[in-house]
């Protein structure tokens, strides 16, 4: 499995990476997003939505856990696990279906879902390098 490293110097570049991967995404793809608060995860998902030809405005689903965006080439399911502290809470919330979506899933704070099968998720890591620069690494992407 090849790991790709992308250096983003702005939110616009992070958004564009999301667009590019969204254009290549297929039904059943799950993007697991790892990184600190403010690292660019939601900006990436906004780009992913545009790449999927979704016209609705994407925002973080922190309080609702899941947002469903339809009307594009594929549906986008945007999950935010920030408020869930344990795998038990994740399973109690019934979120397993989003690991085999009828569309594409993007899951923020994926590190909280600890018992994933290897190769099931396209892992995207966001690392702050400076106030504007992010190193974004992803692996497991294929179509």
Whether 22 contacts 50, CB under 8 Å = yes
Nearest-angstrom CA–CA distance, 54 and 130? 31
Q: How many domains does the chain have?
A: 1
What range does the domain containing 42 cover?
Answer: 3-139
CATH number of the domain that residue 79 is part of: 3.40.50.300
Mean pLDDT of the chain: 88
Closest among 40, 30, 90 to 60, alpha carbons compared: 40
Whats the size of the chain, residue-wise?
143
Looking at residue 1, its pLDDT comes to 61
Looking at residue 86, its pLDDT comes to 80
In the sheet that holds 122-128, the strands lie side by side as 3-8, 134-139, 122-128, 30-34, 104-108, 76-80, 66-69
How confident is the model over 27-72, as pLDDT tens digits? 999 999 999 988 999 999 999 999 999 999 998 776 778 899 999 9
What's this model's pTM, rounded to 2 decimal places?
0.90
Neighbours of 82 (CB within 10 A): 16
Residue 94 has pLDDT above 90, yes or no: no
How confident is the model over 111-131, as pLDDT tens digits? 877 666 555 789 999 999 988
Enter the tokens of residue 87. Answer: 């795998």
Beta bridge partners of 135: 7, 127
Q: How confident is the model at residue 98 (pLDDT cuts 50, 70, 90)?
A: confident
Enter the tokens of residue 141. Answer: 């992407």
Helices (H), 1-143: 11-24, 41-51, 87-92
């Amino acid at each position: 499995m090849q790991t790709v490293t992308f250096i983003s110097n702005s939110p616009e570049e992070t958004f564009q990476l999301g667009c590019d991967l969204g254009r290549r995404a297929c039904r059943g793809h799950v993007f697991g997003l790892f990184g600190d608060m403010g690292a660019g995860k939601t900006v990436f998902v906004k780009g992913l939505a545009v790449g999927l030809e979704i016209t609705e405005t994407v925002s973080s689903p922190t309080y609702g856990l899941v947002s469903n965006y339809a009307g594009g080439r594929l549906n986008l399911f945007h999950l935010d696990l920030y408020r869930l502290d344990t795998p038990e809470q994740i399973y109690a919330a019934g979120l397993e279906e989003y690991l085999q979506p009828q569309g594409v899933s993007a899951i923020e704070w994926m590190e909280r879902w600890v018992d994933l099968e290897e190769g099931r998720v396209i892992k995207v890591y966001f690392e702050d390098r400076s106030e504007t620069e992010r190193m974004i690494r992803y692996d497991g992407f294929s179509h």
